[in-house]
Structure 1
Amino acid sequence: MFFLIHLLASVALAWGLGFAHLGGGLTAFALLYLLARLLGLGLPRLSRYARSLELGLWFCLWFIGQILLASYHVASLVLARRVDVAPAVLAYPLTRRDANTATLLGALLTLTPGTLALEYDESSGLLYIHALDARQPEDVTQMLSELERRLLAWLDASKSQGVQP
């Protein structure tokens, strides 16, 4: 709800100041965010919204970086003279056994080149993942745990203050 209000207020501010273009809208969004951050010192709900917005931005930037790294890794595997891969299906135990969170995590994994979410077993809490190169399965599970940790930090930011990115 706060995000919608923030977005509409940004558009209204940019349009009212005569900057009705993307740059003006982003500037107004940032200015209203800073105002929300300052006012959030006294209003806990506004502070939680600002923290959620920050974690969401950092998650998106981190995830884009992960996609670029995975794209480079897959391209280097494909363009190598000798293709040396060890594809495998891994079972990853999720921290939170929620079908919605598992679906979101699976969709994000499928966006990452070289990985594909296959199935989620809700009774055991295992997410089955196909990895293109699983010569070191601990690297794959480390990436999965980091993705899950950052995603849960973002999703839980509006509920509590003590979550760190």
Structure 2
Amino acid sequence: MLFLIHLLTSAGLAWSLGAGHLGGALLAFALLYLSARLLGLAVQRLGRYARSLEHGVGFCLWFIAQVFLATYQVATLILARRIEVEPAVLAYPVTRREVDKVTLLGTLLTLTPGTLALDYDEEQGLLYIHTLDARRREDVIDILIELERRLLAWLDAGKAEGATS
């Protein structure tokens, strides 16, 4: 809800100042973020919102870079003279077993070229993932761990201290 208020206030501020274009809206968004960050020192909820926004922007930029990197890797595999791949289904033990978080993780994995979330076993906490090239399984698992760590850091950034979901 705070993000929606932030977005609408930014658009209104940019429009009222005569900067109703993307640059003006981004500047207004950044100024309102800085205000929320400063006011967050006094109001905890604004501080949590600012932390959540920081983690969200960081996660989105990191994930976009990962998608471009995976796209490049898949294109390299496809355009090679000899296609040497080792497709595999991996069972990845998730850190948190809440279905909504696992669904989001699986969706993000499916958006990444070369991977596909297949199934989730709630009892064992395993997410089954098909990967196009698993010759270096350690690298695939490292990316999965990093994706889950960053996603959970973003989702937990806006929570009150000591709150659990």
User: For residues 1-165 of structure 1, what are the structure 2 equivalents within 5 Å?
Assistant: 1-160=1-160
For 1:14 and 1:66, how far apart are their aligned partners in 2? 32
Once the 2 structures are TM-superposed, how far is the Cα of residue 19 of structure 1 from its aligned partner?
1.1
Once the 2 structures are TM-superposed, how far is the Cα of residue 38 of structure 1 from its aligned partner?
1.1
Give 5+ residue unaligned stretches, structure 1: none
TM-score scaled by length of structure 2:
0.95
TM-score scaled by length of structure 1:
0.95
**Using a 3 Å threshold, how does the CA distance of structure 1 residues 161 and 52 change in structure 2: closer, same or farther?**
farther
**Identity level (%):** 71
Question: Which has the larger displacement, 2-11 or 153-162?
Answer: 153-162
Instruction: Summarize deviations over 1:47-85 as a string: whole Å, max 9, x none.
Output: 110010000000000001101111111111111111000
Give 5+ residue unaligned stretches, structure 2: none
For 2:66 and 2:85, how far apart are their aligned partners in 1? 20
**SS at 1:129 equivalent:** strand
For 1:111 and 1:90, how far apart are their aligned partners in 2? 17
For 2:57 and 2:79, how far apart are their aligned partners in 1? 33
| Structure 1 contact 48–161 (Cα < 8 Å) conserved | no
RMSD of aligned Cα (Å): 1.2
For 2:8 and 2:38, how far apart are their aligned partners in 1? 19
